[in-house]
A = this chain, B = another copy of it.
Amino acid sequence: MRISEAASVSGLSVDTIRFYEKSGLLPPIGRGLDGNRKFSAENVDWLVLMSSLRETGMPLEKMRHFAELYRSGNRTISERKQVLLDHAEHLETKRAALDHCASLLERKLGLYAEIEEVPA
């Protein structure tokens, strides 16, 4: 799969994928005879995961650590599991922030409605 396809499947931009590769967040990506990157199914799956972790706020440093664990094989599985569990917990925090903001917006919109009903 070409980089543009990998980009549209993962939701990352082409530039971001190249940047992630430079930053050590990806497993080695093969190259075709033309020198262009060729993404395997496994590569794309990994990109999708990275995209989702990043989109939900995991810093690159943590992702890099997770990628290193991945490269080190199956003996790191319990540690990787812990990283994902930690992130799952982080998602809860994020959800709470969304809920909080939603209710704040509702209150503000309510106030605006009042002001409009009783114009100066």
By a beta-carbon cutoff of 8 Å, the part of chain A in contact with chain B is 48-49, 52-53, 55-56, 74, 77-78, 80-81, 84-85, 87-88, 91, 94-95, 97-98, 100-102, 104-106, 108-109, 112, 115-116, 119-120
Contact = CB atoms under 8 A, between A and B. Distances in A.
Contacts of A85: 109
Number of copies: 2
Given A55-B101, A105-B88, A112 B80 contact: yes
Contacts of A105: 84, 87-88, 91
B120 A102 contact: no
10 contacts: A49-B104, A80-B112, A81-B109, A84-B109, A87-B105, A88-B102, A88-B105, A91-B101, A94-B98, A98-B98
